[in-house]
């Protein structure tokens, strides 16, 4: 029987192979660090606020937030630093007599970011609305940050907003009895920041008639509305309510066409009662993309779409932030002149980058495995 002697690798060769293996591992680590840096340090892509017009909108909203903050800090109601972490003056309370429904605090704080106004400039552009055009705005007091962002973007674009507001609000919105949208808009008018009077008001809540409000809250809001002298919408029948709102928008537009409708929040009258409205994309929607149900389930959103008017839908805040590259619940707020913080990558771009990263990892592991086999041979 012939004895076979296994040749051991020469010490120099083994050392060289180990060094090459260590080099590949080091390279793999550097590859991972490079991709981490790509996500963290990559300069902003074109996003809300990167042009002069959007920067003006964001700067105007920052001034408005400063005015609201100063008013609340000087004469109340006081800001709760635990809920309104950035001290914007736009965050309400968890539960009050004029609270109509639940609400997500993080979503309300996200909409208090002045860069949202920059995103609204982009949405108005998508709708083809510019200087001298009329925008109809149906808003719930649940999102005062979105109302403010819309008005600031309209001002930057030279658009004339026509606003109908429901004063009842969900949790953390404009639901403080002493700090509703009426007090906020009055503060902004007195500070010389914005002067936009509503075309009409309603209670909001269930069937736009105050459903969900306490009795004391209903009485309080009714008194506030009556003191303004503005039209008070109190129609519980959906088709009649929608018709009244459309007529008020057209009257306040003075015969000029409405270029775009902005829906803020999820009010009964604006959204209607057909379940298909829940599929509406947050942000800009072309009229032909919107399902129009029969009149008994049709809200202002669908009626505007039926007339060929595009809709900016501001409700699903997390989806809105993802679509327009806005940070979710940022602390602190980005500067108005930043031109938008680093926007979220789109899903296709994220998939491409992840695929490249995994391909690099796979290649590195393959090379290490080959080196291991060579060392064993």
pLDDT at 371: 57
Q: How confident is the model at residue 147 (pLDDT cuts 50, 70, 90)?
A: very high
CA angle 365, 370, 371 (to 5 degrees): 95
Q: At residue 327, does pLDDT exceed 50?
A: yes
Q: At residue 150, does pLDDT exceed 70?
A: yes
Average pLDDT over residues 238-253: 98
pLDDT at 51: 87
pLDDT at 343: 43
pLDDT at 341: 39
Sort 278 into a burial class: Cβ within 10 Å, 0-12 / 13-18 / 19+: exposed
> E strand or H helix at 255, and its extent?
none
Q: How confident is the model at residue 38 (pLDDT cuts 50, 70, 90)?
A: low
Closest alpha carbon to 129 in 46, 64, 60, 53:
53
Tokens of 102: 């639940």
Q: How confident is the model at residue 24 (pLDDT cuts 50, 70, 90)?
A: low
Average pLDDT, rounded, for the chain: 87
Q: How confident is the model at residue 340 (pLDDT cuts 50, 70, 90)?
A: very low
Average pLDDT over residues 358-371: 62
pTM, rounded to two decimals: 0.79
pLDDT at 345: 42
- The 3-class secondary structure across 167-197, one letter per residue, is CCECCCCCCECCECHHHHHHHHHHCCCCCCC
pLDDT at 250: 98
- Within 201-267, residue ranges assigned H as helices are 215-228, 238-252
Range of weakest confidence among 74-83, 87-96, 215-224, 328-337:
328-337
As a whole-number percent, the residues of the chain with pLDDT over 70 amount to: 76
The answer to whether the CB of 152 falls within 8 A of the CB of 275 is no
> E strand or H helix at 207, and its extent?
none
Q: At residue 8, does pLDDT exceed 60?
A: no
> E strand or H helix at 313, and its extent?
strand 311-314
Q: At residue 10, does pLDDT exceed 70?
A: no
Tokens of 280: 């509406």
The pLDDT tens digits for 247-290 are: 999 999 999 999 999 999 999 999 999 999 999 999 999 999 99
Tokens of 142: 């649940």
The DSSP symbol for 122 reads H
Q: At residue 323, does pLDDT exceed 70?
A: yes
pLDDT at 339: 45
Between 66 and 46, the higher pLDDT residue? 66
Tokens of 223: 């008194």
Average pLDDT over residues 176-194: 97
Q: What is the rounded CA–CA span in Å between residue 371 and residue 17?
A: 7
The pLDDT tens digits for 79-131 are: 999 999 999 999 999 999 999 999 999 999 999 999 999 999 999 999 999 99
pLDDT at 76: 85
Q: What is the rounded CA–CA span in Å between residue 162 and residue 231?
A: 13
């Amino acid at each position: 029987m012939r004895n076979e002697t296994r040749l051991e690798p020469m010490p120099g060769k083994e050392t060289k192979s180990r060094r090459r293996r260590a080099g590949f591992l080091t390279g793999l680590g550097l590859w991972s660090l490079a991709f981490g840096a790509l996500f963290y340090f990559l300069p902003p892509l074109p996003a809300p606020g990167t042009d002069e017009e959007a920067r003006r909108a964001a700067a105007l909203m920052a001034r408005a937030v400063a005015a609201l903050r100063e008013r609340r800090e000087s004469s109340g109601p006081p800001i709760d630093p635990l809920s309104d972490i950035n001290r914007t003056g736009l965050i309400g309370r968890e539960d009050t007599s004029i609270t109509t429904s639940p609400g997500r605090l993080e979503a309300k704080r996200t909409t208090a970011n002045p860069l949202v106004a920059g995103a609204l400039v982009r949405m108005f552009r998508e709708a083809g609305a510019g200087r001298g055009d009329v925008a109809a705005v149906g808003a719930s007091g649940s999102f005062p940050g979105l109302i403010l962002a819309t008005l600031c973007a309209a001002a930057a674009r030279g658009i004339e907003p026509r606003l109908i507001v429901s004063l009842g609000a969900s949790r953390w919105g404009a639901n403080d009895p002493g700090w509703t949208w009426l007090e906020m808009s009055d503060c902004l008018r007195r500070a010389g920041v914005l002067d936009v009077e509503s075309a009409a008001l309603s209670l909001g809540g269930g069937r736009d008639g105050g459903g969900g409000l306490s009795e004391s809250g209903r009485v309080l809001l009714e008194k506030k509305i009556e003191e303004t002298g503005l039209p008070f919408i109190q129609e519980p029948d959906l088709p009649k309510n929608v018709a009244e709102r459309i007529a008020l928008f057209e009257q306040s537009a003075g015969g000029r066409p409405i270029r775009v409708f902005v829906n803020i929040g999820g009010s009964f009258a604006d959204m209607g009662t057909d379940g298909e409205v829940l599929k509406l994309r947050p942000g800009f929607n072309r009229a032909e993309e919107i399902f129009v149900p029969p009149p008994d389930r049709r809200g202002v959103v669908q009626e505007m779409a039926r007339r060929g008017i595009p809709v900016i839908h501001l409700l699903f805040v997390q989806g809105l932030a993802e679509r327009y590259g806005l940070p979710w619940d940022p602390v602190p707020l980005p500067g108005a002149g930043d031109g938008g913080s680093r926007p979220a990558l789109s899903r296709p771009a994220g998939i491409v980058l992840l695929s490249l990263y995994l391909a690099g990892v796979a290649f590195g592991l393959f090379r290490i495995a080959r080196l291991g086999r060579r060392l064993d041979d």
